[in-house]
Structure 1
């Protein structure tokens, strides 16, 4: 899934604009480019694919804000649909 497909859902334009702005702010504050996020996504797909068959069309990886006790820091959130686990000598 391409990062920009995230914005192709049928939602009101104000909601799309709000989500885009959030994404831009998070990337800016984390000092992470969209290209970097795509590289991370590729690496995650490669590693997970060694152990499980995944549905790449449903894959979602995004950068959000997470924090404890009033602090906030970037967090990488991945939703990786698994079709089935691969057998490794069980």
Structure 2
């Protein structure tokens, strides 16, 4: 099934408290070489026919992202790209 991936991230100038919390916790796990962490979300849209990137951009702009504080990218999923990385 054709899949489009929409990645939504806070704009760089917007404070990311979730990312800061993760970055602050990393040293407790022994990870000391990470400067910053930004948290976003990934949305997968499965089309019944050919994937429509323009339609996906419209959906993202009107429904999935807040364009005042968030940026988004729209791309076709790779054929070998797993829907999830962990069981």
What is the TM-score normalised by the length of structure 2?
A: 0.29
Which has the higher relative contact order, 1 or 2, with Cα contacts under 8 A spaced 6 or more apart?
2
What is the TM-score normalised by the length of structure 1?
A: 0.29
Larger fraction in helix: 1
